[in-house]
Amino acid sequence: MKNKFENLNLRPELLANLIELGFNSMTPIQENSLPKIMEGGDVIGQAKTGSGKTAAFGLGILNKIDTKNFNTQALVLCPTRELAEQVASELRKLARMMKNIKVLTITGGVGYHHQESSLYHGAHIIVGTPGRVAKLIRTEFIMIDDIKTFVLDEADLMLDMGFYDEIEGIEKQIPKERQTLLFSATFPEGILKLSENIQRDADKVVVDSEHEEGNIEQHFFQVESHKGKNKAVLKILGEFNPDRLIIFCKTKVITDNLTKFLIENGILAASIHGDLDQNERTVVLTKFSNQSISILVATDVAARGLDIKDLAAIINYDLPNDPEDYIHRVGRTGRAGKKGLAYSLLVEPEKYKIDQISESMGKEFLIKSIDEISEDKEYEAIAPMKTIFISGGKKDKLRPGDILGALINEVQLDPEDIGNITILPILTYVAIKREKVDQVIDNQSMCKIKKRNYRVGLA
């Protein structure tokens, strides 16, 4: 079969690792772009979160890395710290069987001194955000002479966030003889202009494998005014009871106000937007990924690039202006063959947006009144996990196995009581089944890991 990784001229250790990871066949974006990437040509690809694009450019990068040369050979730019960390984690996973590969994340929210110290020891691949990378190139802490691959991931979002000048500045400084790969969820005019300016004879690959529309039920509810949207959300939650969802809002203020309203009504929710500092964002996203929070209320910019699995539903509290953004939001649910739900609220003057969405998706949608849903039902979904923190992390050389061992041997938890373990430089977050979390917090022996004492508490 054409879509088998074995048909590519990949390093044996990369192939062996793909088999162990269960990557049996290429996704459409990989099948259509990876052969071209491995040939060394420039590629501009349209693919959304969850399509497998990271593995596409990641395998291309790793296949030609000179492991004996510790100078930076590939530079990947991402719009947010969260996405940069996701990409770096995926690259490390793909490179597990390659010896001495170093992947370094360079983003805002981390002290310059720590990053400068890490760069001093060299890194084969740097994954970072444009602002911080540009600054460290200017101060010559990032050595650029050996960069052979330049990747822009979620390029449309980077432009939306105003990073065009930083990207252009970085591009002008790195070697001209290189491969440039650009991936974007959409192809607005700015992306095509950027491609024209920084790429040479780029092959265009357009794939939308994020979701199958048939797996997603889409519902549109009209409300009398914007003021009625909060109660409309409660009705939708009570009627359909999705266990894990994102609610999209158009502004930070609306995001915070809706989150406050949900909490006042006994629903565990958290907001994420550009005004949160990095620590706050990390805690919110970790708890949502850990299934310690049922509802994430987010602006588009904050939510783009987050690859959150098993999302039962999304709600469009505010309809986006661009049908492409609607499709992108909806595509976060109903993945991997599972059923998904999408609910959208609108007022009378916004009906034209439904016409645009219908035209873009090639299907008709029925608009119902929110009054058709009863007010009598309450939202009953409860997040199955809670998240604890441990006051130690990578700098203390803590590993997942150390924490699992303490939880199982000292606290007497079963392995199925323990969820995701997220180890950060100085903190660790662990998801624990809701009914067992007090058992962990109250157990003083849990504070001792690898013969050292740590503080343990609820995140």
**Domain limits, CATH 3.30.70.330, in the chain:** 385-458
**Domain limits, CATH 3.40.50.300, in the chain:** 5-206, 213-372
pLDDT of 337 reads 66
Which stretches in the chain have pLDDT values below 70?
1-2, 49, 208-214, 302-307, 336-337, 444-446
Q: Look up tokens 């100078």; give the residue.
A: 71
Single pTM value for the model: 0.74
Superfamily holding 385-458:
RRM (RNA recognition motif) domain (3.30.70.330)
Quick one: fold of 213-372?
Rossmann fold (3.40.50)
pLDDT of 448 reads 79
Single out the residue of 241, 209, 381, 222 nearest to residue 316, CA to CA: 222
pLDDT of 209 reads 46
Other C-beta atoms closer than 10 Å to the C-beta of 99 total 7
Single out the residue of 223, 218, 267 nearest to residue 373, CA to CA: 223
CATH of range 5-206; options 1.20.120.140, 2.60.40.1930, 3.40.50.970, 3.40.50.300: 3.40.50.300
Single out the residue of 384, 330, 337 nearest to residue 360, CA to CA: 330
